[in-house]
Amino acid sequence: MQPPADPERPIEVTLLSRAGNAAVVHLPGRAFPGVNLQGDSLSVLRTQLAGAAGTLRETPGDAAALDELDDVVRELNALLAYYERVLARHGLRRPY
């Protein structure tokens, strides 16, 4: 992916939907919309994944770590379902 010539320059994006800590936005020049996730939510997901991975390295099969991974998967599934609903509502095809 090529970064814009001036990544610090403000640009106008098309906001397709905003819900909770996420928004579906369409950046100029991109074929498909993307998901904007609040930084704190992104950090929480990363922390959950890193913690579970570390635990499973030390204690394979640890039930609490597997539950943590299941929680992250549920969050990502909900985010993906939201993305797909927004695309369908706007008559856009999925990029996958």
How many residues belong to the chain? 96
Q: Using CA atoms, how far apart are residues 89 and 84, in angstroms rounded to an integer?
A: 9
Domain ranges of the chain: 14-89
Total-model pTM: 0.86
The pLDDT of residue 8 is 84
The pLDDT of residue 6 is 76
Per-residue pLDDT of the chain (96 residues; tens, 9 = 90+): 555 567 788 999 999 999 999 999 999 999 999 999 999 999 999 999 999 999 999 999 999 999 999 999 999 999 999 999 999 999 999 999
The pLDDT of residue 5 is 63
Nearest one of 47, 39, 43 to 65, comparing CA atoms: 47
Q: Using CA atoms, how far apart are residues 43 and 46, in angstroms rounded to an integer?
A: 5
DSSP label of 3: P
